[in-house]
Structure 1
């Protein structure tokens, strides 16, 4: 299997740099390659292949071998295109279909090998954030107006209300063009009764948040991704509209579609053969959205998730990194002691810098440790008892903007392991490529927390940490340590606690 390139330290994107964003959707795989020119992104290449990943789901979290191979072949071709782009300027995200897999690694391991790059699995709400970011950048800037964005994918539909580049409300529902076609027309037969029953069911799902969205309101509604684009083209070909989708056009399109008794017989002007097998589910979902939200008109945008990933990539690792904004928001929401978090963070990063070369830890590992240090006490908002367990649960199960599911699991594991025993299963959900760094950063966080237990404000004199393989040697000033018998007892406790991470610790004085 192809080994993945190690990420180099994050650096600002400069003029002339190439970037690539990949969207591994439930229907199609997309890739967009762009170059930064005079501070703007200029698209230099686009690739799209119909993979229909959602068709491979077997209902119990598995994927058919033929669909898996189809996906891997596509990723291999994509990998050839981005082979010369620096890894830190590439981001590949997987969405609904991979989220539904019982064992995502069964797809991710061969997929990352085929692509030659790491693949992040993102939550539905994170997908919604990135979709909105892509659409917002493609529209004229209007800070005083709110937008509703509807993105119908193969496996899910995202609905977002935002202002400027900031999403205000994000929802993701398990209703996409492929999923809905398979769910409501499994044998390929169409009928008005089936359509009516399906429409009622899907509309009810959108009604869960329709009242909130209507109360917020919007000045314009925009549809993104292939389904909305295809429906807009059909409406234009039927001379119902001029590219947009309207409440008057949709019923006429639906009636024309239902003239066919079977999906393979659907005959709509402007409909490609590639889109025919899944258009029924797409129109069904869109009609439900119009009904639930009372939409009258939906413009169609050429931008979608892939453009959002591209623009998000510009800010990652810098001051505009959405993950930093999320960490700050979590600290405020859960009332984390910012001064203590800063002390633990400073010590953790001091230790990190002393062993990073020996352990081959990179910039992404340092950022993860920094964030875990700031959030390690988040569980105290629930209870002091087992607060590290509560904190891990919050971080793994919350929708945290900017983080992939894999990143959240690493963050949760670090917080879970920063005190007490280390469960044997805590690192099982973490991909192999992140496993060594996660264990090592967990050890560094444990030491930083112990060293700052007294919450003192002075620097720790003589603090030195040396790594030799999986062995750590911690050196402290002798007189300073002798004056702190409780700290010495805590550190000696770590001599038996560290092996749970596969790491041994030796304590010395100087």
Structure 2
């Protein structure tokens, strides 16, 4: 199957944009691709503090919802005229924690004018590292990168542009401030409690990270830049954040006793209310990892998104690497995967126009075909169900949560009776293409049920809004009775997807002439 990441390659002079919908701040960065490099030409940032509006029942306070939508509307104005393939918007921890994310995402996407992906904590970590790595001199040495966000903190050990280890903890500057210093008071007892509880979380992977080792520790994000700015403006550190300067900052917070009394050089007004939680997290990190110094990097996840987009356009898509690794890990039969993939690709090319399917849909169909039998690693019975579970719950670099849900939906319904409920649970914008890709994969797997190298006859497929017309050479189905019965049954199955299948005999045009 021919594969391409975007409908058009990124050309010299093209603009691309990335929106980071974080738990503390929303960021938009616009860059121009020129002479093989990305040059940032515009940045927008607004402090929304979305995490502060997250209720225990997983709903979001009305004022935070309205502030978020208003900000995204302003971002949308800046993005007016951008092609969909040139914009990526990603939401992180707070949106991950919502009980009904779609209730937020639908109006948010309308305000922004572009789809919004929700990424897992580990995918967020990968994107952060990609942004940091491109903002620093390239080296073969390993680096520890830490990003304290509003709702979560990501930890990455990487080398070059590759993230070797990725972790994400549910501790962030807003969440930790609300948890340990909700009324603004900062006391020694509360600080010790914060250190103890955060250290317990860090123990999950702290020993493993120390064993892997690193030559340099890097801090990314607004919290790190804020702390670095304070210790340098106060004269406590000449470069980066040292263990001594962090200890001095901690004592300054304890002396102040409350956020209302805080007055520190370099501390901006929009950081006063959340700095205690951020410093408490960093204090625990320095202790757990026995750090002497952490340098601060200017780049973060939003830059990582830009470089990830560039990689997809230049055919170095991390999602393809993830699928290849998954196929190898679960022992996929490569011959059968390639048979199904090739036929699915031929069907796609004939169906694409009638069904308005683009290159990204083509890529998704190819990946689904490559691992459609992944569930066989668990059991043959219900292997499509097992495969869907694996896809929905695996840690797949490059994929958003919505993409993994779409992937799982297609695998769940690629054989037997389609599961219409899983389709309805997808974001509405993804349902039509998922329905159609499922139908194409079903036909491809049906035609290769024999798992043989016997060449298929010429196949014609035409489509319209809710119909597939499949034409096979006269006499072929009579000689393949199992396939004929399977196609008769397939008519009933595809009705569950809202698609009518019509099977006919192709006209021998040369004979007719």
Shift of the alpha carbon at 1:204? Answer: 1.1
Looking at structure 2, the residues matched to 359 and 399 of structure 1 have their Cα atoms a distance apart, in angstroms, of 31
Looking at structure 2, the residues matched to 179 and 44 of structure 1 have their Cα atoms a distance apart, in angstroms, of 32
Looking at structure 1, the residues matched to 104 and 52 of structure 2 have their Cα atoms a distance apart, in angstroms, of 15
Looking at structure 1, the residues matched to 426 and 327 of structure 2 have their Cα atoms a distance apart, in angstroms, of 24
1:427 aligned counterpart, secondary structure = helix
Number of residue pairs aligned between Structure 1 and Structure 2: 503
Q: Structure 2 residue aligned with 1:217, among 188, 213, 216?
A: 213
- Partner in structure 1 of residue 367 of structure 2: 371
Looking at structure 2, the residues matched to 321 and 372 of structure 1 have their Cα atoms a distance apart, in angstroms, of 16
Q: Structure 2 matches for 1:132-171, cutoff 5 A?
A: 132-143=129-140, 145-171=141-167
Q: Structure 2 matches for 1:56-455, cutoff 5 A?
A: 56-143=53-140, 145-455=141-451
2:376 aligned counterpart, secondary structure = helix
2:214 aligned counterpart, secondary structure = coil
Shift of the alpha carbon at 1:8? Answer: 11
Shift of the alpha carbon at 1:469? Answer: 2.4
Contact 1:257/1:268 (<8 A) preserved: no
- Partner in structure 2 of residue 54 of structure 1: 51
2:303 aligned counterpart, secondary structure = helix
Contact 1:202/1:288 (<8 A) preserved: yes
Contact 2:7/2:358 (<8 A) preserved: no
Looking at structure 1, the residues matched to 312 and 383 of structure 2 have their Cα atoms a distance apart, in angstroms, of 30
Contact 1:224/1:303 (<8 A) preserved: yes
Looking at structure 2, the residues matched to 24 and 264 of structure 1 have their Cα atoms a distance apart, in angstroms, of 28
Shift of the alpha carbon at 1:9? Answer: 4.8
- Partner in structure 2 of residue 483 of structure 1: 479
Shift of the alpha carbon at 1:456? Answer: 2.5
Looking at structure 1, the residues matched to 275 and 222 of structure 2 have their Cα atoms a distance apart, in angstroms, of 10
Looking at structure 1, the residues matched to 257 and 139 of structure 2 have their Cα atoms a distance apart, in angstroms, of 45
Gaps of 5+ in 1: 1-6
Q: What do residues 274-333 of structure 1 show as CA deviations (whole Å, max 9, x unaligned)?
A: 100000000011011111111111000000000100100101144201111111111111
Contact 2:228/2:240 (<8 A) preserved: yes
- Partner in structure 1 of residue 27 of structure 2: 30
Q: What do residues 96-121 of structure 1 show as CA deviations (whole Å, max 9, x unaligned)?
A: 01000011111111111111111111
Contact 1:235/1:243 (<8 A) preserved: no
Looking at structure 2, the residues matched to 304 and 124 of structure 1 have their Cα atoms a distance apart, in angstroms, of 14
Deviates more, 1:348-357 or 1:273-282: 348-357
Looking at structure 2, the residues matched to 288 and 9 of structure 1 have their Cα atoms a distance apart, in angstroms, of 43
Deviates more, 1:342-351 or 1:457-466: 457-466
Contact 1:257/1:267 (<8 A) preserved: no
Deviates more, 1:126-135 or 1:52-61: 52-61
Looking at structure 2, the residues matched to 122 and 504 of structure 1 have their Cα atoms a distance apart, in angstroms, of 35
Contact 1:23/1:305 (<8 A) preserved: yes
Deviates more, 1:405-414 or 1:491-500: 491-500
Contact 2:180/2:190 (<8 A) preserved: yes
Contact 2:5/2:363 (<8 A) preserved: no
Shift of the alpha carbon at 1:394? Answer: 0.6
Looking at structure 2, the residues matched to 454 and 502 of structure 1 have their Cα atoms a distance apart, in angstroms, of 27
Looking at structure 2, the residues matched to 152 and 406 of structure 1 have their Cα atoms a distance apart, in angstroms, of 24
Q: Structure 2 matches for 1:457-476, cutoff 5 A?
A: 457-476=453-472
Contact 2:142/2:216 (<8 A) preserved: yes
Looking at structure 2, the residues matched to 277 and 305 of structure 1 have their Cα atoms a distance apart, in angstroms, of 23
The answer to whether 1:456 aligns with 2:452 is yes
Q: Structure 2 residue aligned with 1:20, among 5, 13, 17?
A: 17
Gaps of 5+ in 2: 507-513
Q: What do residues 12-33 of structure 1 show as CA deviations (whole Å, max 9, x unaligned)?
A: 2121011111101000011111
- Partner in structure 2 of residue 496 of structure 1: 492
Q: Evaluate the alpha carbon distance shift between residue 9 and residue 236 of structure 1 in structure 2; reply closer, same or farther with a 3 A threshold.
A: closer
Contact 1:233/1:243 (<8 A) preserved: no
Shift of the alpha carbon at 1:84? Answer: 2.4
Shift of the alpha carbon at 1:479? Answer: 2.7
Q: What do residues 475-497 of structure 1 show as CA deviations (whole Å, max 9, x unaligned)?
A: 11233222211111111110111
Runs of 4+ more than 3 Å apart: none
Contact 1:470/1:504 (<8 A) preserved: yes
Contact 1:336/1:378 (<8 A) preserved: yes
Looking at structure 2, the residues matched to 468 and 162 of structure 1 have their Cα atoms a distance apart, in angstroms, of 48
Deviates more, 1:463-472 or 1:297-306: 463-472
Contact 1:8/1:87 (<8 A) preserved: no
1:376 aligned counterpart, secondary structure = coil
The answer to whether 1:40 aligns with 2:37 is yes
